[in-house]
Amino acid sequence: MNTNLAHTKEQTTINLIADIGGTNIRLAQATAKLGTNTRDIAINDIETYQCKEFSSLADVVAHYIDVKELNNLAINACFAIACPVDNDLISMTNLPWQFSQNELKQSLNLHSLRFINDYTAIAMAIPLLSEQQKIKIGGGESIAGKPISVCGPGTGLGVANLVPLSLSGNEQWHCISGEGGHIDFAPVNEIEQQVMNFIQGIKKRVSYEQLLSGYGLEQIYQALLFINHGKEITTVEDKLTAKDITANALNATCTVCEQTLTLFCDVLGSFAGNLALIMNSQGGVYIAGGIVPRFVDYLKLSDFRARFETKGRLSSITEQAPTYVITEEQPGLLGAAACLL
């Protein structure tokens, strides 16, 4: 992905893209060079803003348009956002931002505006990734034209799937998104059963997101601390963040943190394998999100791939399907550009 193209005054139409999260919003412009078999998307003029510094989405987008001197140009926009986008009225989960899509388009004087879910954007970016934008974990080989799945532990556990479609002789990808991260967690051994029992004591229901997320890492740590030592976290000093747990595990300075990260990798392998079975994801299963790229080498040495493949009589499906970690820094922007262009 080329991110170094400069905006030129001769342009009359701008493709504006955004990746909107609960903390940051990234805005950029996209262009495409059409080839015989590939579409080369260039993303330029990337700016990152803290959401808390603006009172509304309209304010931050208007600020970007002013700074980049785009006011007199026709703007086509596609915004990836971390919340449902099915209705005209959008209410963000982790921000006090609520707005009408139609009113936003009018207030910003946009030529066109489309909102997509953030994991729809990440899924749409996958066919455009180069070998340098992903890392393969274990065996398996991708089969062209077969479904692709993606899951991403982060603030939550995002899930989406790509299926190939042929429309008027053109091969295209269609994204099927959903809330797969909230399906019931299924322990596969005694220690995972004990962890589930612990989480059930503090939560009404245990989904995979309760383990495969930032706060999931923290809950696994709390559970193992109690299981191993009978100790409950009662003070701020005892409580470790997901970042602390990961760092301690990688530095081998805390046995419980190492057990936490190992169990996290194991459960992620089982969950990713479940996705492969559900969608027959012979195009591959991809891991996104802000957590896993921090410890790819640890993941490789874990039982992630073994757990991914161990699916009884249908293990042949998961053994064939490759697994990757996405290392591209801006998959949301890339996917929004793919949808727009």
CA–CA distance, 223 with 221 (Å, rounded to integer): 5
19 is in an annotated binding site: yes
* Percentage of the chain lying above the pLDDT 90 cut: 80
- pLDDT in the model for residue 67: 96
Average model confidence (pLDDT) across the chain: 91
Mean pLDDT, rounded, for 20-47? 82
Rounded to whole angstroms, what are the CA distances from 90 to 8, 32, 45, 86?
A: 33, 29, 26, 8
CA–CA distance, 193 with 186 (Å, rounded to integer): 8
Q: Which are the contacts of 44, defined by CB distance < 8 A and separation ≥ 6? A: 2, 3, 4, 5, 6, 7, 28, 29, 30, 31
Most confident of 10-24, 35-49, 77-91: 77-91
Crossing angle of the two packed helices 331-340 and 118-125, in degrees rounded to 10:
80
- pLDDT in the model for residue 318: 97
Q: Which are the contacts of 58, defined by CB distance < 8 A and separation ≥ 6? A: 99, 104, 107, 108
Find where tokens 């299981």 sit.
227
**104-153 pLDDT tens trace:** 999 999 999 999 999 999 999 999 999 999 999 999 999 999 999 999 99
* Pairing assessment for the beta strands 112-117 and 134-137 based on DSSP bridges: unpaired
What homologous superfamily is domain 13-117 in, according to CATH?
ATPase, nucleotide binding domain (3.30.420.40)
For residue 25, name the pLDDT band (cuts at 50, 70, 90). Answer: very high
For residue 56, name the pLDDT band (cuts at 50, 70, 90). Answer: very high
20 is in an annotated binding site: yes
Domain 139-321 has CATH 3.40.640.10: no
75 is in an annotated binding site: no
DSSP single-letter state for residue 311: -
Query: With the CA atoms of 125, 133, 325 and 299 taken in that order, what torsion angle do they form, in degrees rounded to the nearest 10?
Result: -170
**Domain residue ranges of the chain, discontinuous segments joined by +:** 13-117, 139-321
For residue 231, name the pLDDT band (cuts at 50, 70, 90). Answer: confident
Rounded to whole angstroms, what are the CA distances from 125 to 229, 271, 285, 331, 335?
A: 44, 21, 13, 6, 4
CA–CA distance, 153 with 145 (Å, rounded to integer): 26
Common-topology check for domains 13-117 and 139-321: no
Instruction: Retrieve residue 75's tokens.
Output: 């703007």
- Taking alpha carbons only, the member of 264, 315, 305 closest to residue 285 is 305
pLDDT over 90 at 36, yes or no: no
* Pairing assessment for the beta strands 74-81 and 112-117 based on DSSP bridges: parallel
What SS3 state is found at 129? Answer: coil
- pLDDT in the model for residue 39: 60
Burial degree of 301 (CB within 10 A; 0-12, 13-18, 19+): exposed
Reported pTM:
0.87
32 is in an annotated binding site: no
Mean pLDDT, rounded, for 212-233? 92
